Amino acid sequence: MPTPDIPAAPALPGASHLHSGKVRDLYSVDEGQHAGQLLMVASDRISAFDYVLDSTIPGKGEVLTRMSLWWFERLADLVPNHVVSTDVPEQVRGRAVICRRLEMFPVECVARGYLTGSGLLDYRATGEVCGIALPDGLEDGSRLPEPIFTPATKAALGDHDENVSYDAVVTTVGEEAAGRLRELTLAVYGQAESIARERGIILADTKLEFGRDAEGTTVLADEVLTPDSSRFWPADEWQPGRSQPAYDKQIVRDWLLSAESGWDRSSGEPPPPLPPAVVERTRSRYVEAYELLTGLRW
């Protein structure tokens, strides 16, 4: 698998850089009232097929941050979250939050209400997803009888997350924590799916991350219910048996796999830069998802 070539994170006043992922840069806050906490910055980087692309999507980091904050507010009755403050350095204002330090669970907590992506591949191979048997005859985009918890391992940069069974989560974090993660993941999905449906959007699936604070409370962390971590589909265009139109980076994936890009995914070479039109269409899709879900203008 490729190792993403991630640009150097910018220096920020009063903070020390700790780590950069495909999209986010993480800092330690060194001074002020939030000293000792973490500063999480969402960049405009975009990844596809385990590569971080040379092209960026203007405003994407701000869309992800605003959308996460909007969802955190609506989920506060279900689970506490990691956000402490949005009072961040000026150069990252709008795309960053100060958050508390947590002991993160080494599990990607995925809820699926519809069958697609890696879940569809597993189903076609075994009739199951993460050890959960599903009815015969399901297609790409089929709605499941009920939402399911389909966890995955957290992969290193450049590798794919791997779907695992619930028993594997129990082995990793213990029975009590595994049960709590499953309960919270399905509760968050259920509430968010209902909110999205009221706005004409299907929440097909979502990936959540949780951590544990010093008191042992399970806390919702990272980003939540954004086009980077979830599949959002226009409800009026949903049609099982085909790939669904989506409010995410599928535009980027489709272009990279097209003859126009000239890129061979199996070559081991990084993808080419995105044309301006693909960048703009992707940006517009993220903004459209934000406006439809929140009811706010960008």
| Domain CATH for 241 | 3.30.470.20
- C-alpha–C-alpha distance, residues 38 and 169, integer Å: 27
In a domain, 152, yes or no: yes
Looking at the domain assignment, is residue 267 inside a domain? no
Is 168 domain-assigned?
A: yes
Residues 63, 114, single domain; the answer is no
CA distance readout (Å), 249 to 32, 42, 52, 90, 128:
37, 16, 13, 28, 27
Domain boundary among 204, 225, 248: 248
How many domains does the chain divide into?
2
Same domain, 122 and 228: yes
Tens of each residue's pLDDT in the chain, 298 residues: 454 568 888 899 999 999 999 999 999 999 999 999 999 999 999 998 889 999 999 999 999 999 999 999 999 999 999 999 999 999 999 999 999 999 999 999 999 999 999 999 999 999 999 999 999 999 999 999 999 999 998 765 555 678 999 999 999 999 999 999 999 999 999 999 999 999 999 999 999 999 999 999 999 999 999 999 999 999 999 999 999 999 988 899 999 999 999 999 999 899 999 999 999 999 999 999 999 999 999 8
Residues 149 and 236 in one domain: yes
End-to-end CA distance of the chain: 37
Domain of 55: which CATH number?
Answer: 3.30.200.20
For the full predicted model, state whether its pTM sits above 0.95.
Answer: no
Q: CA 150, CA 164: separation in Å to the nearest integer? A: 7
- The residue among 54, 84, 99 that closes a domain is 99
- The DSSP string of 56-121 is E-TTHHHHHHHHHHHHHHHTTTT--BSEEE----GGGTTSEEEE---EE-SEEEEEEEE--HHHHH
Domain that holds residue 45: 15-99
Identify whether 280 is part of a domain.
no
**What is residue 294's three-state secondary structure?**
helix
